[in-house]
Amino acid sequence: MSKWFANGADRNLGSRARTLFTCALLILAAVICDCRAVSALPATKAMAIPAFARKYGLPCSACHTAWPELNNFGQVFRDNGYQLMNDRDSPIWQNPSYFPITFRITPNWHRESTSNQPVDSIPGDGTSATVSHNVTQAGFDLSGMDLWSAGTLYKNISFQLLPSSDPTAVWHFESAWVRFDNIKGSPWLNLKVGRFELDNLVSEKRFLFLSNNGGIYQIYHFNVPGSINDFGYGDNQIGVELMGHSANSYTRYSISLLSSNEGGVGLTNSVTPGGNPSSRSFDGNLAFSQAFNAGSWGLERVGAFAYIGQRPTFYQTSGGTQLVGLGNEPFYRVGFAGDFFFKNLELLPLFMHGHDNAYLGNGIASNSGPLPSTSRAPSFNGGFLEAHYYVSPQLVFLGRFEKINVGQQADIGNPGNFGNVTAYSVGYRYYPIMFSRAGLAWHNEYSISKSIGIVPLSGDGTGLPPLPLPNSQNVWSSSVFIGFDFDF
């Protein structure tokens, strides 16, 4: 047994590592068996009925490395406003019976387990002492559902409408926008208005992970413990975006002006009822990327981004009812990312630095006078490295490592590692069906995160921080996800 495993403080971690290793071997065995089963399929050449082909006649693998992730051809198609820039872009070329709509949902079995959760020592007795315990749940389940419609209203006017529901069919508008493409005939001028995903080089909306813990980029949703900032870089925002790109989208930029309300609707900070009223201020996002041709390796892209925003720290009220967000205090997120291909291997690194104003970071109303001497402006650094290995257009192996360190705690009394996050995800997706109208992916994923003293960003567990408070208890949260991800 290695010294690392024998270390008493890390005994639990060592046990997990061994278990992880066993899991990895078994998953590998399963994959090998899967591949053998698949290879037994006959190589028939009969045809199917594609719907998207009614407009363009392309297989989905033309636009996706592995759906929903875009390759550069798909990126150019998207940047052009869902147009191939030939004479077939206007809806007039579509079959009258064709409606540009698709839905996506994932029946699955998953298991979620979270350690060090505060629970009643006597189940069912809310008056009993609170103790730390694992909370584990497993079973068959459904994901939320996306009802996605996108395309062109006319040549050079595109749109997207994405009503999305949670598994219990509570709906909201995940995105809805109209875009004026190639203004004055230039790909460098495209104007989008509505609710949309920020122009992220590494998109969380089109990535390949689905489990509770792995299905988010931790860094895209992280805020330092104690902060009342609700911003998530991966969340759709609402506003207007000016975007441009070169003909092959090797060079891309975007400038966005956004309401300071985390993409909320109804002038609140939420897309569902019950949100706080938003303030009257605006945020800005800048993104730029440049791709380089690396010969037989493929296309290599690097990019940088900066989000500068503000959030209210108190509200105008009437009888205690919040009316308008006031006392805006600033924050920013800056970073860089890449998308590197080495033939069939794709690496996606991202680094982000975040900073919140001290009032925002400590949840203190900015009209309440000077800050306590223990309050500071919090900051954090983090990112991830994600890897995809494309065995074929139909089989991709996935892995990701994520790390977030709080650089400066909001409260000087907090332990230095309070809120730090480490996460690992592995899995694979196999696409037995890959029409341009329908897709089916067999998805297997294991993900585990360690967050120190806070609720896992996945939201798993009791939703309460570990005991005692404040503390530096490690909270391990793991997800196993097996499902059929389908899109029609």
Partner 1 sequence: MTLKKLAVTFALGSMALVTVGATSMRAQSHVNSPDVALGTPSVDSTESHIGAVTGHAAEGKKLYRRFCIGCHGPDGNGLGMNAAWIDPKPRDFTEATFKCRSTPTGTLPTDDDLYDAITRGFVTTNMPSWRPLTPQQRADLVAFVKTWSPRWAKEKSGTPLNIPAETPITIESILHGRQLFQKLECWKCHGPQGHGDGPSASTLTDSKDNPIRPYDFSSGSRFMCGVTNQDLYRIFMTGLDGSPMPSFADVVKPEEAWDLVHFLRTLQPLKSQEADLWQTYKAAHGADIKPIGPDAAAGGQ
The owner of tokens 């979270």 is: 114
User: Least distance in Å: CB of 91 to partner 1?
Assistant: 15
- Residue number, 53 or 183, with CB nearest to partner 1: 53
Question: Tokens representing 206?
Answer: 């089109």
In angstroms, what CA-CA distances link 421 with 128, 417, 425, 460?
A: 31, 9, 13, 14
User: Least distance in Å: CB of 84 to partner 1?
Assistant: 4
Using rule CB under 8 A, residue 62 touches partner 1: yes
- Residues 385-404: x where in contact with partner 1 by CB under 8 A, - otherwise, as a string: -------xxx----------
Using rule CB under 8 A, residue 44 touches partner 1: yes
Using rule CB under 8 A, residue 109 touches partner 1: yes
- Closest C-alpha among 274, 286, 279 to residue 262: 279
- Of residues 13, 17, 58, 345, which one binds partner 1 by CB under 8 A? 58
The one segment of 120-128, 203-211, 226-234, 438-446 that binds partner 1 by CB under 8 A: 438-446
The owner of tokens 């480490």 is: 422
Using rule CB under 8 A, residue 442 touches partner 1: yes
User: Least distance in Å: CB of 59 to partner 1?
Assistant: 4
Q: Which three-class secondary structure state does DSSP give residue 60?
A: helix
In angstroms, what CA-CA distances link 112 with 82, 368, 397?
A: 38, 41, 22
Show the beta-strand stretches assigned E in 121-170: 130-142, 145-154, 157-165
Contacts of 25 (CB under 8 A, 6+ apart): none
Q: Which of residues 64-103 bind partner 1 (CB under 8 A)?
A: 72-73, 75-76, 84-88, 95
Distance, C-alpha 248 to centroid of its chain = 26
User: Least distance in Å: CB of 176 to partner 1?
Assistant: 27
Question: Tokens representing 465?
Answer: 């921080």
DSSP β-bridge partners for residue 241: 192, 256
Using rule CB under 8 A, residue 478 touches partner 1: yes
User: Least distance in Å: CB of 31 to partner 1?
Assistant: 8
Q: Which three-class secondary structure state does DSSP give residue 236?
A: coil
- Residues 4-43: x where in contact with partner 1 by CB under 8 A, - otherwise, as a string: ------------x--x--xx--xx-xxx-xx--xx-xxxx
- Of residues 104, 348, 430, 460, which one binds partner 1 by CB under 8 A? 430
Q: Which three-class secondary structure state does DSSP give residue 24?
A: helix
Using rule CB under 8 A, residue 57 touches partner 1: yes
Burial of 130 (0-12, 13-18, 19+ CB in 10 A): middle
Using rule CB under 8 A, residue 432 touches partner 1: yes
User: Least distance in Å: CB of 299 to partner 1?
Assistant: 6
H/E stretch holding 310? strand 299-311
- Closest C-alpha among 372, 381, 450 to residue 413: 372
Using rule CB under 8 A, residue 474 touches partner 1: no
Q: Which of residues 243-302 bind partner 1 (CB under 8 A)?
A: 247-249, 293-296, 298-299
Count of residues in contact with partner 1, rule CB under 8 A: 71
User: Least distance in Å: CB of 101 to partner 1?
Assistant: 18
Question: Tokens representing 424?
Answer: 């690992």
User: Least distance in Å: CB of 10 to partner 1?
Assistant: 17
H/E stretch holding 31? helix 11-39
DSSP β-bridge partners for residue 285: 256, 307
- Of residues 1, 46, 129, 169, which one binds partner 1 by CB under 8 A? 46
- Residue number, 43 or 169, with CB nearest to partner 1: 43
